[in-house]
Amino acid sequence: MKFNNLFFILAVSAVIFSCKKDDDNASFDAAKQALEDDVTLIKYLQTHYLKESDGGIWTIKNGETPLMEQVEAQNITKNDISYKLYFLKQSPGVTIAPYRADSVLTTYTGMLLDSTVFDSRSSMIWMPLTGVIDGWSYGFTNFKGGTKVLNTDESFFYINAGKGILFIPSGLAYGNIGQSIIPANSPLVFQITLNDVNIADHDNDGVASYLEVETANGDVKTFDTDKDGIPNYLDADDDGDGKLTRNEDTNGNGNWFDDDTDNDGIPNFLDKDS
């Protein structure tokens, strides 16, 4: 629950963030901070290693292999600023990778670069990737879920789950505001497992949320066909024609993208005059 609260507060702080940017905090240079964070993260990755025996991250003392030689980098652009998210894949997982619109069943530990643990969860929890920091929503897409194994008492566990570490610049985490014991402008480290993936359909309109984007891998939160302020993934009538998206699968084959009555290339559920 603790982490839930943290992310709930995050949603609030994101609002504060945009206000501050416009008002008293106009001097904050997010692009400059992104560059500084990258330097900080690279230095961290060059001077630390993953100790297999305890799964911890330690300072290199005797020529251990630096994390920098093991991580992959993911380039992310947000508000025209380029970020680099680094991730280490310890186990890739075996089922499907989540889209940024999906939910993940995870355990995790989050810490600052000085090893201060600010949150940790050892029992699995479902987290919607639409409601967490960007470092998570992008980072988890690099992993796949594990295989669910049922016990005779109907309890379950996962084998071959995705497992790894995310190294997140502050601009994809809590930004220049910070959060509880996380200081402003802090890059974060999350050790994560990805046990299972739920393909989300937030508005239950029949179209999976990850498909309710403008371009492949686009952001569900910014795509709003009828411009009514409700993004498509939360809008039960995407084109605002008064007909629910659920009822615009005209040929009834379960695919909303192959119904195009006026043959203009735009499927009926996104096309006011169909």
Q: Which stretch binds Ca ion (CB under 5 A): 14-22, 53-61, 151-159, 235-243?
A: 235-243
Is 119 near Ca ion (CB under 5 A)? Answer: no
Give min distance, CB of 143 to Ca ion, in A: 24
* 196 interacts with Ca ion by CB under 5 A: no
Q: Which of 228, 255, 257, 258 binds Ca ion (CB under 5 A)?
A: 228
Closer CB to Ca ion, 92 or 240, in the complex? 240
Q: Contact with Ca ion (CB under 5 A): which of 38, 134, 196, 203?
A: 203
Residue 134 or 205: the one with the smaller Cβ distance to Ca ion is 205
Number of residues binding to Ca ion, judged by CB under 5 A: 18
User: Is residue 272 involved in binding Ca ion (CB under 5 A)?
Assistant: no
Instruction: List the one residue from 178, 241, 246, 259 that touches Ca ion (CB under 5 A).
Output: 241
**Does residue number 219 form part of the binding site for Ca ion (CB under 5 A)?**
no
User: Which segment (49-57, 72-80, 191-199, 260-268) binds Ca ion by CB under 5 A?
Assistant: 260-268
Among 134, 196, 239, 249, binds Ca ion (CB under 5 A): 239
What would the 3-class secondary structure string for the chain be? CHHHHHHHHHHHHHHHHHHHHHCCCCCCCHHHHHHHHHHHHHHHHHHEEECCCCCCEEECCCCCCCHHHCCEEEEEEECCEEEEEEEEEEECCCCCCCCCCCEEEEEEEEEECCCCEEEEEEEEEEEEHHHCCHHHHHHHHHCCCCEEEECCCCCEEEECCEEEEEEECHHHCCCCCCECCECCCCCEEEEEEEEEEECCCCCCCCCCHHHCCCCCCCCHHHCCCCCCCCCHHHCCCCCCCCCCHHHCCCCCCCCHHHCCCCCCCCCHHHCCCC
Residues whose CB is less than 8 angstroms from the CB of residue 177 and which lie 6 or more positions away in sequence, other chains included: 13, 16, 17, 20, 184
Among 71, 205, 210, 220, binds Ca ion (CB under 5 A): 205
Contact between 266 and Ca ion per CB under 5 A: yes
Considering only the stretches 33-41, 102-110, 168-176, 205-213, report the one whose residues sit in contact with Ca ion under the rule CB under 5 A: 205-213
Which residue number, 180 or 247, has a Cβ lying nearer to Ca ion? 247
Position 102 contacts Ca ion (CB under 5 A): no
Q: Give 140: exposed, middle or buried? Use CB within 10 Å, 0-12, 13-18, 19+.
A: buried
Interface residues with Ca ion (CB under 5 A)? 201, 203, 205, 207, 224, 226, 228, 230, 235, 237, 239, 241, 243, 260, 262, 264, 266, 271
